[in-house]
A and B are shown apart, each in its own frame.
Chain A
């Protein structure tokens, strides 16, 4: 490296001249991959549905009206609140929350275990965690279906061991969906928590022990506050994709009820699709997630003060 020159200051013309072009890729990514698609979706949600798929360029609130208001099957009853889609949302949120909790309960000890191994072997453990994710999600979900089915290895193994006499009904239940979500998103919980725990200074635990803190008190008062950002990041990374998941509910849960993901999917396929409604459902989902994240960020800054 060359000898260090004078440090460029913000506002320095030459510095700015370099920074702008260097920022271009960032702006391109944000603009093309985030702002543009979301804006497109927002606009589509206010357009008129074209029969058999597509949109007409007439602005309307029909899609949002369909989501929140019902006028009966034949559209001639007085308007009432439409609970159909709200209950689909509620079911999906509940399911995603449960999957997040499950991932946290298993992911935290796993991350802790890996982070406390000797530095040499940590890489191997992390590697093992990521191996299954080299395979496509669809294939992994179908394989899970194979494992859990009535005549599958799990049930036959349990029967062979004499633990059960009849196969457990797992496939096409919520339990199967939970297992699917858990399996799909566990690394998203483990990796951020691992990153946080790895940075944790274990001298703090020793200091706590010296001051007669119990192990439980140490975990609650010292460890958790320090690794909290990792836990929060993990929870968000699991919760958000679980909320929109439709492979696990469809393939493992039997697709008997709509989830947010399958409801949106349904609007864009076949000749019965309704693009503006699909876009509106996606916008409502995104707004909900954003509100939750904003509330969290607010609570954080208040806590910091």
Chain B
């Protein structure tokens, strides 16, 4: 039956008339309706292959899949890595009529200054959440995690991820990421070792679960996870600390040797339309990097405290260090967990 319906749709639609688009995307990260909408509007036939990590996508493209796909959706640091590997094509702002919809703060991003190869897809924050039944004091500082008050000592879960822990630690100390300054690195190392005595566990997948169950009273967490913990009934508040917090952003990039470059640009332009960007946000529950999405957002998303950082607080992307510097950070991480 399904096949019959599909073939009817195939006959009825002007598919292939406008060619194809090959998308390399995360699994379950774009609503089906939106893909159909794009196909109907443009007559372009979209094929989506999926991956489950930035590294898997990079490896596949380097292993010979470059030239088979038009666009991919790498995370912030991966955009820089892919550009460095020569996997990205560039476009001019005038190629995308909706280019002006990109929110100003996401235009000149460190991983793609001026947006020459990428457009924002979705973004989110990583900081920490606190169980307000346990601790009612001020939670506007990263000291809650790195120099916790007595009520929270021994009840803290931190993400089991080198990138987030070392970046938040650096933000707390006010030192730049990817520094090679010995004093700064030593200070970071000592601060983390001292903080560790107050931590109960390291875990990323469990970071929501431990807050909901009460195993942890505070924990480093992604904003989406914290919103889910709140939805599951835990009295947790997500903090946007004054020192700053970590932001991540997934971006649609134009791949080098794209077989359907024009259709790729049409697709990117389509995703910069506020209604379409909002459709992705309503599906994925993160935030769009496009202005004017508010009228199209579901109320539980537009009103969510986790999705709306205070305007005066600053988010920092995790930087991709060069190989020599990365060695130092690897050593600090091993030292923390040895």
Contact = CB atoms under 8 A, between A and B. Distances in A.
Given A52-B81, A255-B201, A258-B338, A272 B59 contact: no
B109 interface: no
26 contacts: A52-B55, A52-B58, A54-B59, A73-B186, A73-B328, A87-B338, A150-B215, A251-B203, A254-B202, A254-B203, A255-B201, A255-B203, A256-B196, A256-B201, A256-B202, A258-B337, A258-B338, A269-B55, A270-B55, A270-B162, A271-B55, A271-B78, A271-B81, A271-B320, A272-B163, A272-B330
B189 interface: yes
Given A150-B215, A258-B338, 9 more contacts: A53-B55, A54-B59, A73-B331, A250-B160, A254-B201, A255-B160, A256-B196, A271-B81, A272-B333
B328 A151 contact: no
A170 B38 CA distance: 53
Interface string B186-223: 10010000001001111100100000011100000000
A17 to B, nearest CB: 44
A218 interface: no
A272 B162 contact: yes
A59 interface: no
Interface string B318-338: 001001001110111111011
Interface in B123-164: 160-163
Contacts of A272: 162-163, 326, 330, 333
Interface residues of B, number: 38
- How big is the A interface, by class? 20 to 34
Contacts of B337: 255-258
Contacts, number: 76
B54 interface: yes
Secondary structure call for the B interface:
helix
B191 to A, nearest CB: 15
**Top 7 nearest A-B pairs by Cβ distance?**
A254-B201, A255-B202, A51-B323, A84-B338, A172-B201, A258-B337, A172-B200
Nearest to A91: B338
Contacts of B162: 270, 272
Contacts of B338: 84, 87-88, 257-258
B55 A73 contact: no
Interface in B287-338: 320, 323, 326-328, 330-335, 337-338
B185 interface: yes
Contacts of B200: 172, 254
B334 A171 contact: no
B334 A271 contact: no
B199 A84 contact: no
Contacts of B331: 73
A251 B206 CA distance: 8
B3 interface: no
A149 B213 contact: yes
B182 interface: yes
Contacts of A271: 54-55, 77-78, 81, 320
A270 B201 CA distance: 20
A74 interface: yes
Contacts of B59: 53-54
Contacts of B163: 270, 272
Contacts of B189: 73
Nearest to A270: B55
A210 B193 CA distance: 65
B185 to A, nearest CB: 7
Interface in A161-176: 171-172
A254 B159 CA distance: 11
Interface in A49-85: 51-54, 73-75, 84
B141 to A, nearest CB: 23
Nearest to A149: B215
Nearest to B337: A258
Nearest to A54: B59
Given A151-B213, A251-B206, A256-B199, A84 B334 contact: yes
A69 B196 CA distance: 26
A51 B321 CA distance: 11
Interface string A110-123: 00000000000000
Contacts of A87: 338
Contacts of B332: 73
